[in-house]
Amino acid sequence: MDKLIVTGGKRLEGTVPISGAKNAALTLIPCALLTEEPVTLRNLPRLADIDGFQHLMTQFGVAHSIAGRRPEDFGRVVTLEATRITNTVAPYDLVRKMRASILVLGPMLARMGEATVSLPGGCAIGNRPIDLHLEALKAIGAEIELAQGYVKAHAPDGGLPGGDYDFPIVSVGATENVIMAAALANGTSKLGNVAREPEIVDLCNMLVAMGAEIEGIGSSDLVIHGQKTLNGCTYSVMPDRIEAGSYACAAAITGGEVFLQNARPDDMNATSHALRNAGVTVEYEKKGIRICADRPLNAVNLTTAPYPGLATDMQAQMMAMLCLAKGTSVLTETIFENRYMHVPELARMGANIEVSGRTAVVHGVDRLSGADVMATDLRASMSLVIAGLAAEGETQVRRLYHLDRGYERLEEKLALVGAQVERVGD
> What residues are designated binding site for UDP-N-acetyl-alpha-D-glucosamine?
99, 128-132, 313, 335
Binding residues for phosphoenolpyruvate: 22-23
The amino acid that residue 334 corresponds to is: T
Instruction: Check if the beta carbon of residue 130 is closer than 8 Å to that of residue 171.
Output: no
Binding residues: 22-23, 99, 128-132, 313, 335
Q: Is residue 123 annotated as part of the catalytic site, yes or no?
A: yes
Instruction: Check if the beta carbon of residue 251 is closer than 8 Å to that of residue 262.
Output: no
Those residues whose C-beta lies under 8 Å from the C-beta of residue 371, and which sit 6 or more positions away, are: 348, 349, 391, 395, 396
Q: Residue 298 gets which letter from DSSP?
A: B
Q: Is 111 exposed, middle or buried (0-12, 13-18, 19+ CB in 10 A)?
A: buried
First-to-last CA distance in the chain? 5
The amino acid that residue 13 corresponds to is: E
| Cβ neighbours of 391 (radius 10 Å) | 25
Q: Residue 156 gets which letter from DSSP?
A: P
Query: Dihedral through CA 218, CA 221, CA 226, CA 227, nearest 10?
Result: -20
Please give the backbone phi and psi of residue 374, each rounded to the nearest 5 degrees, phi first: -130, 130
Which of 123, 233, 249, 323 is catalytic? The answer is 123
Q: What is the torsional sign of CA 92, 98, 99, 101? A: negative
Go through the chain and tell me how many residues it has.
Answer: 426
Query: Which are the catalytic amino acids?
Result: 123
